[in-house]
Structure 1
Amino acid sequence: MKWSSTLTAAALGAGAVAGPVAAASPSVAAPQRAKAATSPVRCTSKDRELATKLASDIAKALESRASMASLSFYDRPTGTRCTADAAKKYDSASVAKTIILGALLYQRGGDLTGEEDTLARKMIVDSDNDAATTLWKQLSDLTDPKKPDPVRIQEFLDKAGMQQTDLDKEGFWGLTQVTAHDQAKLLRLFSGDDDAVLGSKARAYALDLMNHVQSIQRWGATAGAPVDSVIHVKNGWLQRSQNPDVDAFDRGDWKVNSMAVLTEHGYDSGLVVLTENNRVPEGHPTNEGWDYGIDTIETISRAIYRDVYPGAEGYDPSRPTVPAAEPPTAG
């Protein structure tokens, strides 16, 4: 797996949802995991045998997990696409930052100021929350400062055809509702050659930032990817609070998401996996829900890459070791 450079590690959890509603809570008892219903996996491909095998292996990967998961995968060279519940909406956490980035590049025609470049790099590479909030407000109608309405981000979504994405109109960008379908559409936009929404300079810039994501956040949809590919990734995670105003299902629930693109050397594919219901068993450390979500994503990811790239040496991402006393904060 090729990365352009090695970056210094930042504190885990940078890149959370903005605002207190989805702040990470301390270790609390949550419902035991229950087997989650999973929608059928549908795959199409120029290679019928590949489509059949992928559908079967992805289904097996999903069956082994108790959390809820949705996915969208594409591979341009083989004309392959796979989905499972791809229209289901999830709290975005930090994968919303890819939307903010796309909107910024769209509104600026790919030419960012020095300050915007600095903020964009912090937002994607370091998953910096403050940078994301600053750019979100910059792309919003601030008539009511307490409820920045992201009108210019919505303009980008409309242009990109991302009709299933619901931006949070009160400024909690990490509570934006996203789908695997729309996030995969964004990946295809970043990695494609269509200038209708973003020009080649803007697309290359977005991929470059995702290629330089810090080493502690390269887990997820990268797992099992061929080591000779160039990967571009963005992850997101948050634990919803136990506040009474949070829906009962969401209280204490870990939301863990990952999206990745493989490019160069003949590779041209993208994978999005969104998960929730990553519950912490009663009496267990809080970070177990976060770990379970990552394991779910990586189980699916490895199954896909094994089938699409048989015989290729697979990338084995590391992740931070989080002591039980210091669970990862929202991401």
Structure 2
Amino acid sequence: MPLSSRPRRSRTALVPLLGACLMGACLAGAADPAGAAQRGPVCRAPAKPALAKQLTRDLRAALAGRRGTVSLALYDSRTRATCTLSAGRRYESASLVKVLTMEATLLRAEEHHRPLTPWERRDIRPMIRSSDNAAASRLWNDLGHPYLAATLRRAGATRTSLGPYSHWGLTRTTAADQLRLLAALTGRRSFLGPGSRAYGLRLMGEVREDQRWGVSAGMPRGLRAHLKNGWLPRATHGWRVHSIGVFTGGGRAYRIAVLSHDNPSMAYGVRTVERVARAVHRRLNNGRRGALGLTPAAEISGRPDGSAPSSVPAPPGPPGASRAGAP
């Protein structure tokens, strides 16, 4: 079932967060050692300063009183609005890294001037639609670190370091880099061809029902969500709860990446992410009421995404990389 606007059974209050980068280019918000609560979101929209002011205000209000460490990145193609909060802070990616794996698989097929093989199709679809870990491992190992690293360079995702072959969920990334990877699916200067972009967006628009929480919350009717989430508890910094997505329709596309850790539970992290998303959707759509509410707590499973065990130490970052804000 496509992930388009649909009513949810229950709605909850509102509260968002931020941290970011933009199209293919970068933005303010390099490594930020300060906690999210110490520094507020900053939004800019050169042609619409009132919108930027409203977004900043709404996001600050949404973050008020929330526990945890949060980063956000936002870019809207229609208004050129951007928002950032601790965009360079590094987090263990959990299942978000499956978007990189998908893009690298699509890029490799293009470079060899061929369609995806039947084997690649059998793995890439469940990897995105149901977050299948066995499928992700097969593609990750087949692509190899050199090709995955080359794909990151093509995207300009310079602060992402790959996790080990056995625990790819320990890949360390930032909200800014996740926004750059999303730009490969919608940006004008994408390194992927039109067919690959459309296919990737379609898969991200068909994630299964119990994984449709996150940045889709508050999305109004008339838009379509293409998203991927990651949710993983670790021995330090509690639950990582991340959500990234592209929203298309009506001649526009906007991208959101929200990453968080130090969450006391998965449900708490999901609620924080969704409150951020709801504030963004409302403001970017002229106050239109969202067709999607916040995910009811009873529908959040609390089971890890399985991308890495909780006890495995995080691998070191790349040589010379800043450790500021690292888990």
Please say whether Structure 1 and Structure 2 have the same fold, judged by a TM-score greater than 0.5: yes
Match of 1:23 in 2: none
Residues 180-225 of structure 1: CA deviation (Å, up to 9, x unaligned): 0010111122112335x11111111110100000011111111111
Match of 2:273 in 1: 297
Residues 272-307 of structure 1: CA deviation (Å, up to 9, x unaligned): 10010002xxxxxxxxx0000001101111111111
2:55 matched to 1:60? no
Cα RMSD (Å): 2.3
Question: Which amino acid counterpart does residue 294 of structure 1 have in structure 2?
Answer: V
C-alpha spacing 1:231/1:212, structure 2 compared with 1 (3 Å): same
Question: Which amino acid counterpart does residue 92 of structure 1 have in structure 2?
Answer: S
C-alpha spacing 1:67/1:106, structure 2 compared with 1 (3 Å): same
Residues 107-162 of structure 1: CA deviation (Å, up to 9, x unaligned): 1117210110110001000100000011000011xxxxxxxxx1110010111111
Aligned mate of 1:132, from 120, 136, 142: 136
Match of 2:29 in 1: none
Q: Tell me if the contact between 2:274 and 2:294 (Cα under 8 Å) persists in the aligned partners.
A: no
Q: Tell me if the contact between 1:41 and 1:82 (Cα under 8 Å) persists in the aligned partners.
A: yes
Distance in 2 (CA, whole Å) between partners of 1:173 and 1:260 is 20
2:89 matched to 1:94? no
Residues 234-259 of structure 1: CA deviation (Å, up to 9, x unaligned): 01101114xxxxxxx33xx1100001
Distance in 2 (CA, whole Å) between partners of 1:84 and 1:317 is 22
Match of 1:21 in 2: none
Query: Whose Rg is larger?
Result: 1
2:249 matched to 1:264? yes
Distance in 2 (CA, whole Å) between partners of 1:215 and 1:227 is 18
Equivalences, count: 273
SS of alignment partner, residue 267 of structure 2: helix
C-alpha spacing 1:311/1:57, structure 2 compared with 1 (3 Å): closer
Match of 1:316 in 2: 293
SS of alignment partner, residue 283 of structure 2: helix
Distance in 1 (CA, whole Å) between partners of 2:302 and 2:243 is 19
Distance in 1 (CA, whole Å) between partners of 2:102 and 2:164 is 17
Question: Which amino acid counterpart does residue 280 of structure 2 have in structure 1?
Answer: I
- Aligned-pair distance for 1:266? 2.7
Question: Which amino acid counterpart does residue 186 of structure 2 have in structure 1?
Answer: S
- Aligned-pair distance for 1:48? 0.1
Question: Which amino acid counterpart does residue 267 of structure 2 have in structure 1?
Answer: D
- Using the aligned pairs only, state the percent identity: 37
Match of 2:312 in 1: none
SS of alignment partner, residue 136 of structure 1: helix
Match of 2:148 in 1: 153
Distance in 1 (CA, whole Å) between partners of 2:297 and 2:181 is 27
Distance in 2 (CA, whole Å) between partners of 1:199 and 1:268 is 17
- Aligned-pair distance for 1:317? 5.2
Match of 1:120 in 2: 124
2:128 matched to 1:168? no
Residues 297-328 of structure 1: CA deviation (Å, up to 9, x unaligned): 011111111111123230225467369xx841
TM-score scaled to structure 2, two decimals? Answer: 0.78
Distance in 2 (CA, whole Å) between partners of 1:305 and 1:71 is 14
C-alpha spacing 1:113/1:170, structure 2 compared with 1 (3 Å): closer
Q: Tell me if the contact between 1:184 and 1:270 (Cα under 8 Å) persists in the aligned partners.
A: yes
Residues 34-83 of structure 1: CA deviation (Å, up to 9, x unaligned): x9634331111120000011111111212231111000011110110001
Distance in 1 (CA, whole Å) between partners of 2:94 and 2:219 is 23
2:48 matched to 1:72? no
Match of 2:3 in 1: 3
C-alpha spacing 1:4/1:83, structure 2 compared with 1 (3 Å): closer
C-alpha spacing 1:158/1:308, structure 2 compared with 1 (3 Å): same
- Aligned-pair distance for 1:5? 12
Question: Which amino acid counterpart does residue 44 of structure 2 have in structure 1?
Answer: T
C-alpha spacing 1:134/1:199, structure 2 compared with 1 (3 Å): same
* 1:14-53 matches, cutoff 5 A: 37-45=37-45, 46-53=47-54
TM-score scaled to structure 1, two decimals? Answer: 0.77
C-alpha spacing 1:320/1:135, structure 2 compared with 1 (3 Å): farther
Question: Which amino acid counterpart does residue 284 of structure 2 have in structure 1?
Answer: V
Distance in 1 (CA, whole Å) between partners of 2:122 and 2:240 is 28
C-alpha spacing 1:5/1:228, structure 2 compared with 1 (3 Å): closer
- Aligned-pair distance for 1:4? 7.0
Distance in 1 (CA, whole Å) between partners of 2:211 and 2:70 is 20
Q: Tell me if the contact between 1:226 and 1:305 (Cα under 8 Å) persists in the aligned partners.
A: yes
Distance in 1 (CA, whole Å) between partners of 2:37 and 2:287 is 32
Uncovered stretches (5+) of structure 1, i.e. residues with no partner: 7-34, 141-149, 242-248, 280-288
